[in-house]
Amino acid sequence: MNNKIKLIIAFAGVALVSAAASGAAIWYLAAKQPSDPKAAKQTQAEAEAKEKPAKYVTLDKVIVMLRRAPDEPAAHYLATDLVLATTEKQEKTTKEHLPLLRSIAVTALSAHTMAEASHMTVEQYAVQLNKTFNASYAKENREKPFSKVMIGKPVIE
């Protein structure tokens, strides 16, 4: 009888240790993976972007007529070139989206008056356009084929 009790205790101990080990393994693996699928996809995209060298696609001659202030008699213009940072894999898709990107950029930039536009820095224009492009692609539930927009040659007249 004594041997049967020892055998039962041994089996219970092995079962307890096995359950604890499997629970620890599940906890460890779950901590490594993000719980949000969008975060996982974004993390994967960031890793791919770091691995591959960036390609740059230009969107030349975006010319926008600025809004007139009540006291301005003449029209003013903003002309700029946009540079889109993308990957070699997404370069073709980015080039196919250039007409859409031009339209979005014109809409975003034409909302400014001459006074507002002349007080903005190049970085502020880039931040505004990046936010606008992100919102546009999110609204259409599409993946953005480039990582960021940079401003080249801004001219305000």
Domain ranges of the chain: 2-47, 54-156
Give the pLDDT of residue 12.
Answer: 76
Q: List Cα–Cα distances, 61 to 5, 69, 70, 87, 150, in angstroms.
A: 86, 24, 27, 23, 14
pLDDT digits (tens, 9 = 90+) for 48-88: 656 565 889 988 888 888 888 777 778 888 899 999 999 88
Mean pLDDT of 91-96: 91
**Token reading at 132:** 């606008």
Share of the chain above pLDDT 70, in %: 84
pLDDT band at 25 (very low <50, low <70, confident <90, very high): confident
pLDDT digits (tens, 9 = 90+) for 32-45: 665 556 655 666 66
Say what the pTM is. Answer: 0.63
CA angle at 150 for the pair 116 and 119, rounded to the nearest 5°: 15
- What architecture is domain 54-156? 2-Layer Sandwich (3.30)
